[in-house]
Amino acid sequence: MASDKPNKLAFLSMPAPASYVAGLGRGASGFTTRSDIGPAREGPSAEAIAEAQARRGEEPDVDPDQFQDPDNEYGLFAGTTYEADDEEADRIYELVDRNMDARRRARREARENEEMAKVRAERPKIQQQFADLKRGLAVVTDEEWESIPEVGNLTRKKRKRDERSFVVSDSVIVGDRARAEYETSLDARQQETGGFETPADNGTLTNFAEMSQARDKILSLKLDQVSGTATSGLQTSIDPKGYLTSLDSVVLKTDAEIGDIKRARMLFDSLVKSNPKHSPGWIAAARLEEHAGRMVAARKLIKQGCEQCAKSEDVWLEAARLHNNDDAKVILANAVQHVGQSVKIWLAAADLEHDVKAKKRVLRKALEHIPNSVRLWKETVNLESSASDARILLSRAVEVIPQSVELWLALARLETPDKAKAVLNKARKAIPTSHEIWIAAGRLLEQEAYATEKSDEQREKELALVDKTIEAGVRELRRHQVLLTREQWLKEAERCENEGALRTCEAIIKATVAMDIEEEDRLDTWTSDVEAAEAKGNVGTARAILAYALRVFPDKKSLWRKAADLEKARGTRESLNAILERAVHHCPQAEVLWLMWAKEKWLAGDVPAAREVLERAFIANSESEQIWLAAVKLEAENGELGVARELLVRARTVADTQRIWMKSAVFERQQGQLSNALETLATAIKKYPKFAKLYMIQGQIHQQQGNLAAARAAYAAGIKACPKDVNLWILASRLEEADNKSIKARALLDKARLANPGNDVLWAEAVGVEERSGGVAQAKTVLARGLQECPTSGLLWSLAIWSEPRPTRKARSADALRKAGNDPWVLCSVARLFWTERKIEKARDWFGRAVAASEQPSDTWGDIWAWWLKFERQHGIKEQQEEVIAKAIAAEPRYGPTWQPIAKDVANVAKTVREILELVADALH
């Protein structure tokens, strides 16, 4: 009966499938036979292959890279020698490539960063896509976290359990059982000996107390010997204070180091034997033995070196170094017999002497052998304590070495002024190519001019000789073909200023600052020289360069402004007034110079002088808006309101600008004359309908009077005339918000954003409207939309940081720094975050970075200064608070959401920057 069951072994008779490898499934990789790898004989050579290809008419294969690798030239230049010219050419090409790459690097990196930002925006990382979800995990409660189900086994495969067991040895079980047991009985042997004594084999007992006492006695004896207080007469020469230090200096050499020393010893031994006249070999061999701690061998080697290389000063100096002081004297005495002209040998011999007289004796003996050594003369003169003896030595020195500038200058410094002039004249004739001598002559004349009490006329006459001397020196140096560059002369001028010779510095600048400059490049070059000198702190040099430039370009307003700024920062009030007086004389049409001069007079408390300056400015600039307004401000600040009103009336007639009309309205408003202000505004709007500030002031006056309808109409007219002015839209929105019409305020801001797309201030105002109306969620939505439209706005990122819960603010601030960069609002927000975390020093540093982020000091936000002051009030001392206030006053901030309303409030008109800053700090929360 045939079975219907399929045959399970039928596959044995089937052919193997394609690409089947026996045993591969269980890890067998098979084996390789000779038939798999080919015959064992060598294949045809390259020549045979080329010959066969030539017979068949085929072209030989050419490696395309054989001419490309410069480090492995096996092609065309394989047989050539790599010489110094080739190396220099390669180095030049590398330098050219490096310079070309540096020129393109900035553009390439900017392009790469832009492409990377574009790629990140189009294809963000998984981490960035889930960043908001990860931050959202911070608000997950414990109950929600516990309710998350555990991840189970989704593979549907049964996992084998590791149920292997191991047999524990009996010793482990017995040891664990006896670990906590206590013995309560003694064995027979312990009972015989008393229980606590361990007998030796011969029956004697060990006394551990006597062993301890003996050890202590030996240790005390060693310590007494080391300290030198032993009573047995066995005192040693060990220094107890430096004993531990000497132990630290002991170097324990490893086997590898010892092997290296042995190999180096063999090399040096071969070197000195093959070339015994090579002095560096003897020195190196001796130093190797010194490093190995074999001083005797080192001295023996260097002695042989002195015999073989008796004319080498380095060998003798090394031998002196390796021996003690007395032996070194003998060695150097022998050295001068062989190398008598070596200055180093004589100086080393002088250094070995401890007595000044002995040093002088050695040096004078050296001068007998080497009279033309400047260094020996200088060392000899330095040992003299008497100025007269030094003068005698220097006189002899300049006779022997008339070409040494240092010796001539040293002799001139020791002589009296009259004799110093003679010395410098001799030096100038002996060395006509030295600029140092001419500069020393100028400094000598300057010193004489300031030495005694003289009249100003006499002193100026003597100081004029300094200029003439330096000019003559430059001419003589050119005649003798000595051409110093501008940079070298400027360095000499800076050195003279640092050493107190200001007039010599000015003389050098006058004589050399115009050298090697094209005529059209003079202004730019001199301006950069002034900035460089000021950056180094060389104010005298900068002032001299500016003085020369102003003589060449007396009508350049920028130069006069730079000179005035320099005097304001580094000079005195008198020097600043002198500069400004000269400036307005040469540039009478420069309004800013007149205003600076009037302001300085006003700040000095001299109001009549300030009025006089402005009167002279009116004559030169009758239609200048700034001068008219400055005169009005001066009179108003000093209580002359009637005069200020008259000046404004005249200004509207003479200058007739939109800003003068605006200031007239503001002045009337500050004085409480609201009707006059409205009349002035009505006239001004007819003349200048596109000036947005007129509509703002008109609306604010109507709002101040409680006439909201008129204010609304004024703002509407302004928006219609100036739809691009953001402040008009904001004032109109706040008017509606003050009238409890948040919906209309929101609609106005929507229209404003349509008229002014991409404006972060409008988005920030919209966020504020939502927050003030109680819609926190809606405010976050608006803020997110604003960040999408203005992704680099620091103002919006600052709002985003503070809209986050406290745990996620730090992450949000990191995003803000990455997107907005060095924005003052973001930096201020980071500083406030550090403030909340009580990281005081970090917060102070970040506040400093925030106020320094603006390019112009006046562009800094007043709110940031107020936040810094508020921080210092809480965590700083009085000096730190005053420092912040002083910096804010110097910066004169003008902007800020909180600063501007307080600063422009009618009640705060006469308040200073300090008072407004304190008011803003009180208003911030």
Ranked by mean pLDDT, which of 194-203, 445-454, 817-826 comes out on top?
817-826
pLDDT exceeds 50 at position 201: no
Q: What is the DSSP string of 485-530?
A: -HHHHHHHHHHHHHTT-HHHHHHHHHHHTTTT--GGGHHHHHHHHH
pLDDT, average across residues 789-795: 89
Task: Write down the domain spans for the chain.
Answer: 254-417, 432-553, 731-821, 831-924
- Residue range 441-462: average pLDDT? 79
| 739-765 mean pLDDT | 89
- Cα separation of 782 and 788, whole Å? 10
* b (16+ CB within 10 A) / e for 686-717: eebeebbbbbbbbbbbbbeeeeeebbbebbeb
Mean pLDDT of 869-877: 90
Specify the CATH superfamily of domain 731-821.
Answer: Tetratricopeptide repeat domain (1.25.40.10)
pLDDT at position 234: 43
pTM here is 0.58
pLDDT value at residue 229: 46
pLDDT for res 349: 86
**pLDDT at residue number 292:** 84
In percent, the amount of the chain with pLDDT more than 70 equals 84
Q: What is the rounded average pLDDT of the residues 316-321?
A: 89
Dist CA 285 CA 463 (whole Å): 63
pLDDT band at 37 (very low <50, low <70, confident <90, very high): low
Q: Is the dihedral of CA 74, 80, 84, 85 positive or negative?
A: negative
Residue 723 has pLDDT above 60, yes or no: yes
pLDDT value at residue 871: 92
Q: What is the per-residue pLDDT for 844?
A: 92
In this prediction, residue 841 carries a pLDDT of: 92
State the pLDDT at residue 196. Answer: 52
Flag whether pLDDT at 876 surpasses 80: yes
> Which whole number is the average pLDDT over 254-266?
77
Say which range, 100-114, 790-804, 876-890, has the weakest mean pLDDT.
Answer: 100-114
What value does the mean pLDDT take over residues 684-700?
A: 89
| CA dist., res. 11 & res. 269, Å (int) | 81
pLDDT tens profile 124-141: 777 777 777 777 777 788
Supply the pLDDT for residue 1: 43
- Between residues 924 and 221, which one has the greater pLDDT? 924
Question: What single string gives the DSSP state of each residue in 122-157?
Answer: HS--HHHHTHHHHHHGGG--HHHHHTSPPP---S--
Could you give the angle at which helices 625-637 and 591-603 cross, rounded to 10 degrees?
A: 10
Choose between 74 and 385: higher pLDDT. 385
Assigned fold of 254-417: 1.25.40
Confirm if 675 and 665 have CB atoms less than 8 A apart: no
CA-based nearest residue to 371, from 400, 334, 342, 411: 400
Tens of pLDDT, residue by residue over 570-590, are: 888 888 888 888 888 888 888
Common-topology check for domains 254-417 and 731-821: yes
More confident residue, 357 or 860: 357
**Which pLDDT score, from 0 to 100, does residue 434 have?**
85
- What pLDDT does 831 receive? 92
Predicted local confidence at residue 231, as pLDDT: 43
At 77 the pLDDT is 53
